[in-house]
Homo-oligomer: A and B are copies of this chain.
Amino acid sequence: LEHPGLDKAAGEEFLREALQILLDEAVRKGTDVTEKVCEWKEPEELRELLDLELPSRGERPERLLERCRVVIQYSVRTGHPRFFNQLFSGLDHHALVGRLITEALNTSQYTYEIAPVFVLMEEVVLAKLRELVGWSSGDGIFSPGGSISNMYAMNVARFHRFPESRRKGNWALPRLALFASRESHYSIQKGAAFLGIGTDNVHLVGTDERGKMVPEELEKEIQRAKAEGAKPFFVCATCGTTVLGAFDPLSGIADVCQRHGLWFHVDAAWGGSALLSGKHRHLLAGIEADSVAWNPHKMLAVGLQCSAFLLRDTSGLLQRCHGASATYLFQPDKFYDVSYDTGDKTPQCGRRVDCLKLWLLWKAIGTEGLACRVERAFAFTRYLAEEVKRRDGFQLVLEVQLVASGGLCVCVFPP
């Protein structure tokens, strides 16, 4: 039998040359302000340029290296200083090194046996994020994104209130109701549909003129849901709404949750990183909720994906809710302390390593450097707002909100 692609020396030579292209084209040019952010092509033309067809026989290394160049050339430079699409711009060289090592090691993070370094590292990184939230203990896991973290929160909350849901499904439960603001992320509705709760049972709570949830409206929605015969169980507050960058008033919402005995989740996927800044963390005052979703891959430029799902619980709720104790993977009789086999806490089986890039970045620039990064994002937004105000043809939609977010809402009037 042949060894397709297994010639080590040739493979390493190819890798070495490809890394040079990666350095020159994706990293250096990709972050160079004098280069284009994107070389736009319509689908038909791009399809031809890429020659995507998957062949029967392999190609020569030179041809493959040329393909790497072309892929980079027509991709959007998300690390470019002028990339302003969505919420994950920027390229950090240290985080990138963490990501490249992660790929080379190709580890699945389920057990200590297979991921000793990363099991310990994830524990430390999650503990640090929890500490910033305000918890000296708790639980958590990295998930494949903020949307999925929000689903974890709903599922854990459902299980906490109704443990029978796991075995019997929603049929054993009263009709549930959950609450998030009108400006909340669409993943709340996607999650409710996915978890068998249904989008009709998501109550969208009214917001003020800045896009913040109004606690009195939450109270009213809870009463309305109860009157309709549903059982409220979960409230999601948002720190950094997608469009307006609003931060919900957490303390007021916490009071309502406490009064009604509801699980209090904070979707801080975007805004969570403000916790690092002494100047801006007041925006998240009251975040010591039941659970928090926080994506360092957004404001901290750690790279996709790095999504922490954090829990206040110390009773093993996450494991009881998601665990299946598959005996071929999570044997209780291994030769080491199996409490380190944390992979069963997620609905995933194989799971990527998402902690190394954040850990290495943190070692490189420290908590102070991260704080600085967050404060730059806020400062740039303020600067842009001032510039907008000085220009004809532009109108600032929401002035006050600016200070409270890394985003900006502007109306442009074409001449």
Contact = CB atoms under 8 A, between A and B. Distances in A.
Contacts of A16: 23
A160 interface: no
Contacts of A106: 78-79, 88, 91, 303-304
Contacts of A322: 190, 193-194
Contacts of A196: 158, 165, 169-170, 195-197
Interface string A64-99: 100110011011111100000110100111101101
A346 to B, nearest CB: 9
A390 interface: no
A272 B57 CA distance: 20
A165 B170 CA distance: 12
Interface string A184-201: 011101111111111111
Interface string A283-325: 0000000000000010000011100000000000000001010
Nearest to A60: B364
B167 A199 contact: yes
Contact of A363 (B27, B58, B367): B58
Nearest to A47: B120
Where chain A touches its partner, the secondary structure class is: helix
A326 interface: yes
A162 to B, nearest CB: 10
A350 B26 contact: no
A312 to B, nearest CB: 20
A4 interface: yes
Interface stretch (A133-141, A232-240, A353-361, A391-399): A353-361
A187 B346 CA distance: 10
A100 B15 CA distance: 10
A93 B5 contact: yes
A145 B348 contact: yes
B97 A15 contact: yes
B198 A46 contact: no
Interface string A96-111: 1101111111111010
A42 to B, nearest CB: 7
Contacts of A22: 100-101, 104
A410 B38 CA distance: 55
A1 B96 contact: no
Contact of A376 (B1, B55, B362): B1
Given A14-B94, A58-B365, A348-B144, A303 B120 contact: no
A21 B372 CA distance: 29
Given A304-B352, A328-B242, A364-B5, A27 B340 contact: no
Interface string A321-357: 0101010110000001100100000011111100010
5 A-B pairs with least C-beta separation: A196-B196, A169-B198, A11-B93, A4-B369, A144-B144
Given A91-B106, A144-B148, 14 more contacts: A19-B97, A43-B120, A47-B120, A50-B121, A55-B363, A59-B366, A64-B360, A75-B107, A75-B117, A76-B116, A144-B145, A170-B198, A190-B322, A297-B350
30 contacts: A1-B376, A2-B372, A3-B376, A4-B365, A4-B372, A5-B373, A11-B93, A12-B23, A12-B27, A12-B93, A18-B100, A26-B101, A27-B104, A42-B336, A52-B359, A58-B363, A58-B369, A59-B364, A71-B101, A78-B107, A86-B108, A144-B352, A148-B347, A168-B201, A169-B196, A169-B198, A170-B171, A172-B198, A186-B324, A305-B352
